[in-house]
Chain A
């Protein structure tokens, strides 16, 4: 009998608790959270970059007095869909998405649009759906700025362009930026582009081969290697180092990955270009707030995502050199001092 009583009492406890919850949740529906709430859905946590985005977005929310919730999707499309669904349940006013997978985000964007809230793609476009705005990095500006700095430092001589994978649109956009900036100098004969090669899979190994061949063909008479990203720049560096020319030629990449950051502070690589996350997140936030207010934010151009022409703002890249490494990279937490200045004597490390 006692066992049965126990069973009963547990059962009744469960019922009572469940019944208690019902009025609880009816109350919740009426009491909508006051103020604006913006949700940010980021693809992963395993890359440090997204953690910085998280921090910057949260800080912007505090600054503007707006609620911000950020979730990371572990590089899992299905998890991202679930997280967005749950954030919509929380009654958010706008959604910022950096999709894990640009082609598998449509149902989530549709769900947000069904709630009538603005959706802004951040860094990566969402394809085939009604996304309101895209805040992108400008690949063209990466190439343009790389060439500009090169011409400032080496106004005359032979240039080598190492492009990324030929099948990747990004490589073409960056290369176009380089070519467009160099065009007047090529025409007046001060600069000669002696080699422009695409690098299969963006690998350091393939880039190294291009750089070696260019050095051999021109008897080391090369002043600049303009590379589409850091892994190709590392290839150029290896070729240059093998010829004992490190530090005497211009090498530039993009992304400020740790090995390149180290080479920059050692003076072996001139610069790596970087889309400043602070500007990027600020612009995104501004666009979102304007959209919430029902305004139409200004845009640079549009990009067709298969559903419509999405208005787009492209954030320009800035050079990161020995001089501003600490300010632009270490201070925002992109890399730590220890990581970047590992090969430099400690007494020469930058201080606050």
Chain B
């Protein structure tokens, strides 16, 4: 009887939506690998694909965090552009070093996040309106301080942030250590479960191990046979780990979900929802700072129309990755998978030299299907 119970909850615990999206991602990869005669799956392309997805991935994390609290941030593209422009001006016109610029840009992002959060949480304006205003406001500030011109070229050190790699040996070692760590976790979890009399079938444990072998094996193949991890991918990986731990293991994380799930109930249980929402926007602000730095470093310049439409791609990534637009549901990993799907479509189509028109059609279809799935699940 007990075993039966556990089995049910195990199946319930699987995020089927995320699982479906992993499947879509693998499917997309297989299709492109076949069409490009393996070129898509070469370690070089996978490495570059990951790097191409980093800017979107970074803001997609922020999108999940805000959408989970039931709010949208559509000022992201403009804010990222503003942050990138601040970095470019400090570098090109004032000759600041890399670290002072990074700190300054993160502070700028944070300030903007607090501004948005304050208007939403304390003043009580709907987030869509606040950030729609922000979208225009921050684009305007960006155009004003750049005089509508492209600001570049960045110093060599700054350019390195996006264009350098950790050495293959070093990357390989990190991957191996992470793999060992994952095995230790599985072992500890199993022991913990057994201790409290929960009998997890060996099959499940085995499956988890197999999953990790594939995941880390793929990373190892990708990095070790090309140039190693690009810096931006390392940065994103660190952000993903921090955000995941924050969302799933901390009180603040549970407050985020509770606020989005049912704000009134959350308030009644003593959660200060206003503060939670403000914090969510603050985190989004910091992430736009990171994205701004990555963007300006990738192009070695800040352009007036940088980041245009980024907010929509970020929301799309989150939603494709299982975030509910009604709030209260969503995972960081899901959003990363979502952004990987979008970046893979860009990348594969580009390798095949197919026009960008078709890309929009396919992306739109995936997005709508994902939401359809969401709505149906909710309806049950």
Residues of A within 8 A of B (CB): 3-4, 7-8, 10-11, 14-15, 17-18, 21-22, 24-29, 31, 45, 69-72, 74-79, 81-83, 85-87, 89-90, 101-104, 106-107, 110-111, 127-128, 306
Contacts and interface: CB of A to CB of B under 8 A. Distances in A.
B42 interface: yes
Interface in B278-297: 295
Contacts of A107: 159, 162-163, 298-300
A28 B38 CA distance: 6
B353 A21 contact: no
A77 B303 contact: yes
B355 A82 contact: no
A79 B346 CA distance: 9
B37 to A, nearest CB: 6
B152 A81 contact: no
Interface stretch (B44-52, B168-176, B183-191, B316-324): B44-52
B197 interface: no
Given A24-B33, A78-B298, A104-B299, A11 B39 contact: no
Contact of A104 (B44, B303, B308): B303
A324 B375 CA distance: 61
A45 B295 contact: no
Contacts of B41: 21-22, 24-25, 28
Interface string B203-232: 100010011001000100100000000000
Nearest to A102: B150
B308 A106 contact: no
Nearest to A75: B305
A86 B301 contact: no
B160 to A, nearest CB: 11
B225 to A, nearest CB: 9
Chain B interface main SS type:
helix
Contacts of A15: 210, 214
Nearest to A27: B38
Contact of B350 (A27, A31, A82, A306): A82
Nearest to A17: B30
A104 B301 contact: yes
Given A10-B23, A77-B306, A107-B298, 19 more contacts: A8-B203, A11-B207, A17-B30, A21-B38, A25-B40, A28-B42, A29-B42, A45-B356, A71-B350, A72-B356, A77-B303, A78-B295, A85-B48, A86-B45, A89-B42, A90-B39, A104-B303, A107-B162, A111-B163
Interface residues of B, number: 52
A71 B48 contact: no
B329 to A, nearest CB: 21
Contacts of A72: 355-356
B254 interface: no
Contacts of A76: 305, 308
B150 A86 contact: no
Nearest to B8: A3
A282 to B, nearest CB: 22
Nearest to A31: B37
B299 A25 contact: no
Interface centre among B11, B33, B210 (most CB of A within 10 A): B33
Nearest to B39: A28
A22 B29 CA distance: 12
B92 to A, nearest CB: 10
A77 B203 CA distance: 49
B214 A101 contact: no
B7 A4 contact: yes
Contact of B300 (A25, A79, A104): A104
A11 B204 CA distance: 12
B38 A8 contact: no
Contact of A18 (B163, B218, B306): B218
A82 B52 contact: yes
B331 interface: no
Contacts of A14: 22-23, 26
B339 interface: no
26 contacts: A17-B30, A18-B218, A24-B37, A24-B41, A28-B37, A71-B350, A71-B353, A74-B356, A76-B308, A78-B55, A81-B299, A82-B52, A82-B346, A85-B48, A86-B45, A86-B48, A87-B350, A102-B150, A103-B303, A104-B150, A104-B299, A106-B153, A107-B159, A107-B298, A110-B163, A127-B153
Nearest to B153: A128
A229 to B, nearest CB: 21
